[in-house]
Structures are given as structure tokens and as C-alpha cells.
Structure 1
Amino acid sequence: MTGSDASPSFRLAYVPGVTPTKWVRIWNERLPEIPLNLVAATAAEVYGALRGGDADAGFVRLPVDHADLSAIPLYTETTVVVVPKDHVVAAVDEVSTEDLADELVLHPLDDTLAWERLPGRPANERPATTADAIELVAAGVGVLVVPQSLARLHHRRDLTYRPVSDAPESRIALSWPQDETTDLVEQFIGIVRGRTVNSSRTQPTPPAEPKQRKRPETGGGAQRKPAAGKSGGAKSGGAKAGGKSGGASAGRGSRGGSGGAKPKAATRGKPRRRS
């Protein structure tokens, strides 16, 4: 599968204990036209789902085989011991592996912790699954050391758990086939890494260019109208200059004299009208 022929949906695998709700919600908000389908898988099955094309990416527990899978570590889980509520461990806030030396510690076949040496006393048989081991703890057969997310996943009202300070830890990662890093995988990587919708890798729609501001028509017209009015008034004779100009022109036109003598003659005529 390549970026050009990606499937119209995105298939996300996840192992027990991982809650992908937050990332699925963000995906649905950003890519509502592309459905995200969840694929539940055990810690052992998830790699087969990725390699076999049953999932485009998946939340897995490290380590992964980097020969053909890419992985981005996300977070490390606290390791806890699951005990009955009336167990002596329930009275403390935290224990060490030495505190479990006298306990029968169950070791299921699907254990996700990389033990160099299992603490406590080993059971005669290994439970097939973590869920089976939880049932044995509830029956008082032994205790179980697991990542905290699995203790929460298999929560029972008659059981509790406490952190184990020096136990191995489980790390969660996002993994996908190296040769199938599609556009949709890149989109989900961005979501998991916390990229915003405006990140360059999400290829957002470029913002529209701002429109040029136009000068107000009313302001320009208001400034031009007074100038037009003054010009019109001068032509109509409303101003003194217009009246003088009009009178001079009329005098020159009716008397037909030269331009210099006519105004003086008109001035000498005024005293005669007062007498």
C-alpha cells in the first residue's frame, strides 16, 4: 500500500490496556470523511495484524522488530502488584520485589514484562492469560505483577493493587510497517504527537488572502461636493467676485468701449444718483 492508493478507512490496532479514545476523537474531528476502525489484538497478535495488512497502525508494547516495523515510543507504565483487598500489601503505598519474596507470584503466558528473574515463589503452572491469573488472585491462590493499565482493565471490587518500585516497566508505542507509511498513517502520527490542525504536516487549507480596503465613497464625495458648490456659486453670481465679473462683462458688452475706461465711468455715475 502506498500514499496514493490508501484505503478509504483507517484501521487502528491496539493491545489490552491501551485506551485510544482520545486519539480516535481527534481523528473524527479532523477527518470525518475517513472512518477509523479499531482492531483489538493481544500483545502477541498485534504484530501479525500489522504485517498481514489487517491494520494500518497499532498501539503495541515495546520492543518491536525494527527490521520491518517503525515505532514511536509514547509513554511508560507503572508496574503494580494485584492482591486481594485484605492482603497485607494493601496496607502500604508501595512495595519492592523483595517484599514479595514469600508470595506465590503468578506468571501468565501473555505476560508483557521482561523479567530477568521473577520475584517470589513460582506457581506449579502458568496461567494462560492475564485474565485467568486475575481469577486466581481473587481465589487467594497468589499475586500478580502487571502494568497498571492491565490491573485497571481487569478491575474487581475484591481486588486492589500497589506500585512495585523496582519491577520492569512496560512501554507503549505506536507502530506501523516501514514500507507502508501512507498519508493516513502520517496524519495519525501527527495526532498522537500532538500536532495542531495548523501544522505544516497536516497540510491545512491555506487562508484566504485579505481583501484590499476600499476608500469610503461617502468621505471622498463629501470632500468633493463643497469644491463643486463653490465653483457653481462663482458662476451663478452668488459671490461678490461673480457679481463684479458679471457686471463688468455686461457693461463692456452694452457700451462697446475699451476695457480700461468703462469701470471709471460707472464709478463717476454713482454720486449723481445720490444727489
Structure 2
Amino acid sequence: MTGSETSPMFRLAYVPGVTPAKWVRVWHERFPDVPLTLHAVPAADAQPLMRGGEADAGLVRLPVDRTFFSAIPLYTETTVVVVPKDHVFTAADEVTLEDLAEEVVCHPLDDILDWDRPPGEAAFERPATTADAVELVAAGIGVLVVPQSLARLHHRKDLTYRPITDAPQSHVALSWPEEATTDLVEDFIGIVRGRTVNSSRGRKQPEPQAQPKGKAKEKAKRAEQAARRKPSAPQGKQTGARTPRGGNRGKPRRRS
């Protein structure tokens, strides 16, 4: 653990397009005394940040160096093409890589898709970032292929996007240095995997036992008292006893 024993802290890196909010919210509910700090970093900087001990774990895009990092795949993103709203692609629900063959495809230097070769015609110069590539698309210079979350992140009113059915996809994972699997890392793994507070893995937190209230409490108390008392047989009555036939059942009737 990088923080002190008396003041622990969990540091989480995350890359563009990934939204950690739902897991962070659960962390604050479950561990209100342990601060969680977020570090938004470019995709290429996430692994060096964790390797240098500046983050305990990261929400990253695969692949990672599996000789150093552990990783839990979380989900796979749809790949889309970002185009102007008046582009011909907007007439279709989805497109293929073949449809991009005659398009100028912007290929930013921070592209995270694993291409053998990007589709379409290469732009005259590669933009430095995805944000720069979006500006070129808005200027009508070409189109851009990215994971859907990045298309949403760089949303503009004059642009839209369509899914590409056969493009490479981006895989998002939770990753951390394998030799630094601390209790806090295990706690965050549990949250990401949806474990309950008292799951068999990770640290457990005591939950107060529910106490009966109102009428339910009074009913439980009466039942407990009744169980402690031993039942007694009614007075003057024995098991198996029979009333004799000739017994007095009232005044005798007079004979006339």
C-alpha cells in the first residue's frame, strides 16, 4: 500500500472515454473513511503511471504488459465512424470498412485501435490527438474511426456517428501492478465485480442485526415467554377418566 497505515488512500487512473463514476460512488458509500482520488490520463500514460507507483489501479484499454500487470476485462466497445451530419453515411444504420475505402480517414497519433492498416485514404498529416482529428472532421477534411465512448466524449452538434460492423474493437479492463495487490485494490475489484459488502473475498464490514419493531417485537416476546412455561393439565380431569353412568346429573324427576 502506498499510503500510510493510519491514513490509507486509493488512487485510480482512468483513460478517456471510460466513466468510473458508478464504482466511485459505491466506494464512497462503502469506505467513507478512505479517500479515492481520480487521475484522468491519456491512454498511453496509464501503464507508466501505475508502473511508477503513482496510481494503485487503472481503468485502461487493453492490451497491458501481463508480465507486470494483472487485468480484469470489463467490456468491449463498439467502433464507430464520426462524420458530418450531412454525410452520406447518415442514411444508413451501420457501415463496413469497405464503405470507408474512398474516404479520407484521419488517423490520430493517440489512436487506440489495433489496426494492421487503417481503412480508406490516409490524410496528408496525422493529427496529434483525437480531439484534433474531430476538428478536421468538422471542417470536412475526412472521417474518424474511434470507440463509441470517444465519439460521445468529443460530441459536436454538427457531427454524428455510425457503427462499423467489422472494425477492430477496444477492450476496457481494470488493471493494477500484480505485486502490489493490496487490500484496497481487492476492495475495488470487489466493487467492480459487484460483490456485496460481506462477500467471501475482500474485507468484510459488520452489518447490524435487524431488531423486531412494534407489534412484531411484542409478538416475539410473548412467543418466547410462552415457550418457557410448561403446560399443566386442567384440575379435576385425568387422562382416560370416564364419567360413571349412574352419576347425579340434576334433580330426580317425581313419579305421578
Distance in 2, Cα, partners of 1:122 & 1:144? 11
Match of 1:259 in 2: none
The amino acid of 1:144's aligned partner reads: L
Q: CA deviation at 1:4?
A: 8.7
Match of 1:173 in 2: 173
Q: CA deviation at 1:84?
A: 0.1
Match of 1:183 in 2: 183
Give yes or no for the alignment of 1:216 onto 2:246.
no
- Contact 1:2/1:182 (CA < 8 Å) preserved in 2? no
Q: TM-score, normalised by structure 1?
A: 0.75
Give yes or no for the alignment of 1:60 onto 2:60.
yes
Distance in 1, Cα, partners of 2:6 & 2:95? 49
Count of residues in correspondence between the two structures: 226
Match of 1:135 in 2: 135
3-state DSSP class of the match of 2:64? coil
- Contact 2:96/2:164 (CA < 8 Å) preserved in 1? yes
Q: Supply the RMSD in Å over aligned alpha carbons.
A: 2.9
Q: CA deviation at 1:117?
A: 1.6
Cα deviation digits, residues 133-160 of structure 1 (max 9, x gap): 0000000000000000000000000000
Match of 1:21 in 2: 21
Say which structure is richer in helix.
1
Distance in 2, Cα, partners of 1:6 & 1:107? 48
The amino acid of 1:75's aligned partner reads: Y
Q: CA deviation at 1:220?
A: 4.7
Give yes or no for the alignment of 1:106 onto 2:115.
no
The amino acid of 1:35's aligned partner reads: P
Cα deviation digits, residues 150-190 of structure 1 (max 9, x gap): 00000000000000111100000000011110000000000
Distance in 2, Cα, partners of 1:221 & 1:23? 56
- Contact 1:3/1:182 (CA < 8 Å) preserved in 2? no
Give yes or no for the alignment of 1:205 onto 2:214.
no
Summarize the Cα distance change of 1:24–1:215 in structure 2 as closer, same or farther, 3 Å threshold: closer
Summarize the Cα distance change of 1:168–1:220 in structure 2 as closer, same or farther, 3 Å threshold: closer
Summarize the Cα distance change of 1:141–1:6 in structure 2 as closer, same or farther, 3 Å threshold: farther
Summarize the Cα distance change of 1:19–1:216 in structure 2 as closer, same or farther, 3 Å threshold: same
Summarize the Cα distance change of 1:6–1:130 in structure 2 as closer, same or farther, 3 Å threshold: farther
Distance in 1, Cα, partners of 2:168 & 2:46? 21
3-state DSSP class of the match of 1:200? coil
Match of 1:44 in 2: 44
Match of 2:157 in 1: 157
Distance in 2, Cα, partners of 1:6 & 1:178? 24
Q: TM-score, normalised by structure 2?
A: 0.80
Match of 2:194 in 1: 194
How much identity, in percent, do the aligned residues show?
Answer: 67
1:226-245 to 2 correspondences below 5 Å: none
- Contact 2:3/2:9 (CA < 8 Å) preserved in 1? no
